[in-house]
A and B are shown apart, each in its own frame.
Chain A
Amino acid sequence: MSSLALRARKVSARQPILLILLTLLFVLAVRQPEFYDPASLLAFLKRAAPLVILAAGQYFVIVAGDFDLSVGSLVTAEVVIAARLIDGDPSMTWPVIAIMIGFGLVVGLANGLITTLLHVPSFITTLGMYLILVGAVYTWTGGSPRGALTEQFRMLGRNSIGIVPYAVLILACVATIALLLMRSDFGKTLLATGDNPRTARLSGVPVVRARVIAFILSAVFAAVAAILLGGFGGVSFQVGAGLEFSAITAVVLGGVALGGGRGTVTAAMLGALTLEVLFTLLNVLGVSGALKSAVQGLIIIAAVAIGARRSRS
C-alpha cells in the first residue's frame, strides 16, 4: 500500500469526516474545477456559513447530552422580528441586531432552565419551543412578514470586504470562539456532563450550569445564523425551515455521538461543510432535487454506522 493511502487510512481512522470531505472535494475538483476559483470558493463559504455556525451551536447542546430542535424556528422568528423592528430605518440596524442576540439569549435560557430545573427532556422542551416560536411570530405579524430589512443589515449576509464576504469573517470569529470555548474549563465540564451526568455531578462539576450555557450558546449562534441568512436571502417564512434537522445531521455526520460526551466541535463544523459540499456536488452532478433527501438519508446512516463501529472497536 502506498504511503499516501496509508496516511489516508490513518486520517480516516481518526477523522472519517475529513476523509469524506476530502473525497467529495476531490470529486468536485474533477467535475467542476471552477469551484476552486477563489471567488467561487469564498461564495461557497458564504453560503455555508450559517449552517456551520448552527452546527457549532448544536454541538454544544448535543455533546452535553441534549437536543435543540428549536433553532430552525428561532432563525425564522429572528428574521421576521428584525424586518418588523427595523422597518427600513437604517438607524435601527445595530440596535435591532443587539435585540436579536438578546432574544436568542432569552430563548436559550428558557430552553436550558426548563430542561434542567423542570427536568423536561430537551427533545420535548425544544419541540415545544419550536411550536411556540413559529406560532407566536405568525400571530404577532398577522400571518405574513411585515416591514423591511435595511441595506446595512443585509450587507452582513450579502456583501464582501474586498473579495472576502462578511459572512466568512463572522464565521471565522464564531469558529474561533467555539474552539476556544471547548479548550477552556467550560469545554471539559461540558464533555464530562455529556459523558456521564451523574458521575460529573458527584465529582462537583456544575452540570446544570454547563447545560444551560450550552442551550444559550446554541440559541445565540442561531441568532447569528439568522443575521446572515436574513442578509443573504431577505425576509421570508421559509428561511429557517428544516434547519434544526440539517444542523443535527451535520453534527452527527461529524462523528459527534447523540447522547453526549464524544466528538469535537471542529468535526461538527466539518460535518456542516461536508453537507454543503455534498449538496453542491449533487447539484453539479445533476441529481434531481427529489433524490437529494434520499442521498442525505443514506449518508447520515452510513456516517453514523461508521462512527458506531469505531467507538466499539
Chain B
Amino acid sequence: MKLREHGVWGALGLTLIVGGILVYADGGSLFTQSSTVSLLQRAAGLGIVAIGQTLAILAGSLDLSVAYVISLTSLIAAETMDGSSGMIVPAIIAVLGVSAGIGLLNGLLITKLKINAFIATLGVGLLIKGYLEQGYAGPAGSVPTSFQRLGYDRIGPVPLSVLLMLAVAGVAWIVLNRTRFGHHLIAVGGDLDVARLSGVRTDWVLIRTHIICSVCAGIAGLYLASRLGAGAPRVGSEGGYDLESIAAVVLGGTVLAGGRGGVTGTVGGVALLAAIDGIFNQLAVDPFFKQVVRGVVIVAAVAIYAMSLRRKAPGKVATA
C-alpha cells in the first residue's frame, strides 16, 4: 500500500533530479521561472479532469466522455460570456449545470440501463462530438480579460490555475476521506454486491460520482476557455484528456478496477506526466519518441504497483 500511495512522488522526485541533470548537461536549466510556470499551467487542466476521473475509477467506473465535455463547456463558457465581465457568473452556472446534466446522464445509463461504463460514456461522448461537429466550425465566443486572469495570473511562480487544481483536489480528498458518501464510493468500487448488501444505495452513489466527474471536466473547460480566450470545439479531444486523465489516475496508484487509491496519488501522477513533458521539451526530444516513453512509463508503473500489491495480499488481485 505504501508504494501505491507514495511511489509516484518518489518517481517524480527521481525524474526531476535525473531530468534536471540531463537538461543541465545539455546546457539548459529545468527550473527557470518560465519553464516551471508553463509546466504547472499545463498540469492544472489535466489535473482537474484527472481528479474527477479518480473518483469515477475509485467507484469502479470510468468516464470516456470528459474530453468532449471539456470542449463543450469551453464553448458554453465563451459564448455565454461573449466578452462581457457581467456574464462570468451566469456562464459558470451554465457550465456547471450542463456538465452536471451530462454526468447525470452517464450515471443513469450506467445504473438504470445497466450499460457498461466504457460503452455508456463512449456513447455519450460520441453524442456530444456529433453536436460539436454539427454546430461549430471553429473557435467561438470570447472571454473578457477579467476572466482570462484565471488562466494567466500567478502568485510568484505558482499559477492561479494550480491553486484551483489544488482546491479541487482538496475538496475531493475531504469528500473521499471524511464523508459518508466517500466511504460508500470506495465500498461500491471495492465490491458492488457487498456494498449493496450492506445497505449502500449503490446506484445513487454511482450517479453522484459521475456528476462530480463531469463537473470536474466542466471546470477544466472553464479554465481552458480562460486560457484560450475563446471556446474551442476540439480542445478536449486534441488534448487527449480522456485517455491521459485515466493514465494519470493509474500512474498515481489508483487501481483501474476500483476501490483502492486516492486523489493525492493522482496529483502526483499528473505532476509526473508534466515533468516528463517538461524535461523532453527542454531537451527538444522528438515528440514521437516522447509517446513511446509515455507508453512505457504508464505500463511499467502499473506493473510495479501490481507486483507490490501481490506481495502484500497474494490472491486478491483483480484479473482484468
Which residues of A are at the interface with B, using a C-beta cutoff of 8 A? 65-67, 114, 118-125, 127-132, 134-136, 138-139, 143, 197-198, 207, 245, 248-249, 252, 257-260, 288-298, 300-301, 304-305, 308-309, 312
* A123 contacts across to B, CB distance below 8 A: 246, 256
A167 to chain B, nearest CB (A): 27
By the criterion CB–CB under 8 Å, are B288 and A135 in contact? yes
By the criterion CB–CB under 8 Å, are A119 and B289 in contact? no
* B115 contacts across to A, CB distance below 8 A: 301, 304-305, 308
By the criterion CB–CB under 8 Å, are B119 and A258 in contact? yes
What total of A-B pairs shows CB separation below 8 Å? 151
Bitwise, B266-294 to A at CB < 8 A (1) or not (0) is 00000000000000000000101111111
B203 to chain A, nearest CB (A): 14
In angstroms, Cα B113 to Cα A248, docked, is 19
In angstroms, Cα B116 to Cα A252, docked, is 10
* A289 contacts across to B, CB distance below 8 A: 133
A29 to chain B, nearest CB (A): 26
Cβ-based interface call for B129 (8 A): yes
Which residues of B are at the interface with A, using a C-beta cutoff of 8 A? 109, 113-116, 118-120, 122-127, 129-131, 133-134, 243, 246-247, 250, 256-257, 286, 288-296, 298-299, 302-303, 306-307, 309-310, 317-320
B137 to chain A, nearest CB (A): 10
Say whether chain B's binding surface is mostly helix, strand, loop, or mixed. Answer: helix
By the criterion CB–CB under 8 Å, are A118 and B306 in contact? yes
Cβ-closest 7 pairs across A and B: A294-B130, A135-B291, A297-B126, A131-B295, A138-B288, A290-B133, A128-B299
* B317 contacts across to A, CB distance below 8 A: 119
**Which one, B131, B293, B296, B307, contacts A119 given CB within 8 A?**
B307
* A118 contacts across to B, CB distance below 8 A: 303, 306-307
Chain B residue nearest to A116 in the complex (CB): B319
Chain A residue nearest to B105 in the complex (CB): A301
By the criterion CB–CB under 8 Å, are A120 and B289 in contact? no
* B292 contacts across to A, CB distance below 8 A: 131-132, 135-136, 139
- Answer whether A290 and B120 are a contact pair too, CB < 8 Å, given A120-B303, A128-B296: no
Given A134-B291, A292-B130, 13 new contacts (CB under 8 A): A67-B118, A114-B303, A120-B306, A121-B257, A123-B256, A128-B295, A132-B296, A134-B288, A135-B288, A258-B119, A291-B130, A297-B129, A305-B113
In angstroms, Cα B130 to Cα A66, docked, is 28
- Answer whether A290 and B130 are a contact pair too, CB < 8 Å, given A119-B307, A135-B291, A301-B124: yes
**Which one, A245, A259, A291, contacts B134 given CB within 8 A?**
A291
In angstroms, Cα B242 to Cα A245, docked, is 13
**Which one, A125, A300, A305, contacts B126 given CB within 8 A?**
A300
Chain A residue nearest to B64 in the complex (CB): A245
In angstroms, Cα B247 to Cα A76, docked, is 22
* B299 contacts across to A, CB distance below 8 A: 114, 120, 124-125, 128-129
By the criterion CB–CB under 8 Å, are B120 and A301 in contact? yes
In angstroms, Cα B137 to Cα A289, docked, is 13
* B286 contacts across to A, CB distance below 8 A: 139
B35 to chain A, nearest CB (A): 23
By the criterion CB–CB under 8 Å, are B291 and A304 in contact? no
Chain A residue nearest to B129 in the complex (CB): A293
Chain A residue nearest to B131 in the complex (CB): A294
* A197 contacts across to B, CB distance below 8 A: 319-320
* B131 contacts across to A, CB distance below 8 A: 294
By the criterion CB–CB under 8 Å, are A257 and B288 in contact? no
Chain A residue nearest to B117 in the complex (CB): A258
Chain A residue nearest to B109 in the complex (CB): A301
By the criterion CB–CB under 8 Å, are A122 and B130 in contact? no
Chain B residue nearest to A141 in the complex (CB): B288
* A120 contacts across to B, CB distance below 8 A: 299, 302-303, 306
A20 to chain B, nearest CB (A): 16
In angstroms, Cα B317 to Cα A119, docked, is 8
* A245 contacts across to B, CB distance below 8 A: 122
**Which one, A119, A260, A308, contacts B310 given CB within 8 A?**
A119
**Which one, B109, B298, B307, contacts A131 given CB within 8 A?**
B298
By the criterion CB–CB under 8 Å, are B127 and A297 in contact? yes
* B295 contacts across to A, CB distance below 8 A: 127-132, 135
* B310 contacts across to A, CB distance below 8 A: 119
In angstroms, Cα B294 to Cα A257, docked, is 30
In angstroms, Cα B302 to Cα A38, docked, is 51
In angstroms, Cα B291 to Cα A129, docked, is 10
By the criterion CB–CB under 8 Å, are B113 and A66 in contact? no
Chain B residue nearest to A300 in the complex (CB): B123
Most buried by B among A65, A131, A136, A260: A131
By the criterion CB–CB under 8 Å, are B114 and A312 in contact? yes
By the criterion CB–CB under 8 Å, are A124 and B257 in contact? no
* A66 contacts across to B, CB distance below 8 A: 320
By the criterion CB–CB under 8 Å, are B257 and A258 in contact? no
* B243 contacts across to A, CB distance below 8 A: 127
By the criterion CB–CB under 8 Å, are B126 and A304 in contact? no
In angstroms, Cα B123 to Cα A296, docked, is 8
In angstroms, Cα B306 to Cα A58, docked, is 25
- Answer whether A131 and B134 are a contact pair too, CB < 8 Å, given A118-B303, A139-B286: no
B300 to chain A, nearest CB (A): 8
A255 to chain B, nearest CB (A): 12
A72 to chain B, nearest CB (A): 12
- Answer whether A308 and B126 are a contact pair too, CB < 8 Å, given A143-B288, A288-B134: no
In angstroms, Cα B319 to Cα A130, docked, is 21
- Answer whether A128 and B298 are a contact pair too, CB < 8 Å, given A123-B256, A139-B289: yes
* B302 contacts across to A, CB distance below 8 A: 120-121, 124
Chain A residue nearest to B320 in the complex (CB): A65
B174 to chain A, nearest CB (A): 28
In angstroms, Cα B116 to Cα A259, docked, is 9
